[in-house]
Amino acid sequence: MQTSLFGRLAQLVRGVLGRRRRQQPIRDPAALRAFLQTRSTYVAQMTLYGYLRTRAGARFPELFENDTFVVSINVAKWHVWLACLSDLAAYAGGMLRRQGAASPAQAGAVIQRLVEEILAETGTPADAGPAFGEHAGRVRSRLALCDWEAQTDDEGPFSESPSALVQWAPVVDELKALDEQIVRNSMRFRWQEIRQQFRRAFEAQAVMAAAQRQLSP
């Protein structure tokens, strides 16, 4: 995926979430993949840019005139996105196992395949920095080793994204130390909204049945 895909996804997310329409049901793997992709983008964008806007205040637009800072923002957005994708995928896999009459192995296989498709489409963005590939590998490893029985329907699976926001946001360490709890809570707050959307829309048994049909010879 070229850099512009993040922007296109962000525009799509703003359009979907900006209209007060009922969330479309998630009844097949394609819809589940779209949810994982767009909501990860939404949470990464809202939390990262929200934090920077709060810290910079009225000077926020001026930051984008600094080329070095723009580079740091671009690197940060991709790493926060990867962490968001990792967390949401772990959560969705747990829900698929519990509600979809799926074994842990079956649920894991569906989630890993969808995330792999997303990562393959993404590729290595030109502005993501040298650590992107390693981080994407950690996402794959987490899902490959995930205990799907242990994924709960609460904030438990969302363990990576709060730390990633603190780590990668281009803010000086002294200020991050002061802000850390607030920043983490802002991420947790965003995930509450996404979990509510997911619970309303997710039809786990339909997703699992469609996934099994796709895998049938």
Confidence band for 3, pLDDT divided at 50, 70 and 90: very low
Q: Averaged over 198-209, what is the pLDDT?
A: 96
Residue in this structure with the two tokens 């707050």, named with its chain if needed: 189
pLDDT at residue 217, rounded to an integer: 54
Q: Averaged over 121-143, what is the pLDDT?
A: 97
Q: What separation in angstroms does the CA of 45 have from each of 71, 169, 170? A: 15, 11, 14
Give pLDDT tens digits for 110-124.
Answer: 999 999 999 999 999
Helices 29-56 and 67-99 cross at an angle (nearest 10°) of 140
SS3 202: strand
pLDDT at residue 149, rounded to an integer: 94
pLDDT at residue 204, rounded to an integer: 96
Give pLDDT tens digits for 170-194.
Answer: 999 999 999 999 999 999 999 999 9
pLDDT at residue 15, rounded to an integer: 52
pLDDT at residue 1, rounded to an integer: 39
Q: Averaged over 117-138, what is the pLDDT?
A: 97
Structure token digits, residue 28: 């097949």
pLDDT at residue 19, rounded to an integer: 43
Q: How many residues does the chain have?
A: 217
pLDDT at residue 2, rounded to an integer: 38
SS3 122: helix
Q: Averaged over 112-137, what is the pLDDT?
A: 97
CA distance 148 to 11: 32
What are the sequence ranges of the domains in the chain?
4-13+27-215
Q: Enumerate the β-bridge partners of residue 26.
A: 202
CA distance 183 to 163: 9
CA distance 160 to 86: 7
- In this structure, how many other beta carbons lie within 10 angstroms of the beta carbon of residue 122? 21
106: left (phi over 0), alpha (psi -120 to 50) or beta: alpha
| DSSP state for residue 26 in the 8-state scheme | B
Which residue blocks in the chain are alpha helix, DSSP H?
4-18, 29-56, 60-63, 67-99, 104-122, 132-144, 161-168, 173-201, 204-215
Give pLDDT tens digits for 55-84.
Answer: 888 888 888 888 898 999 999 999 999 999
SS3 75: helix
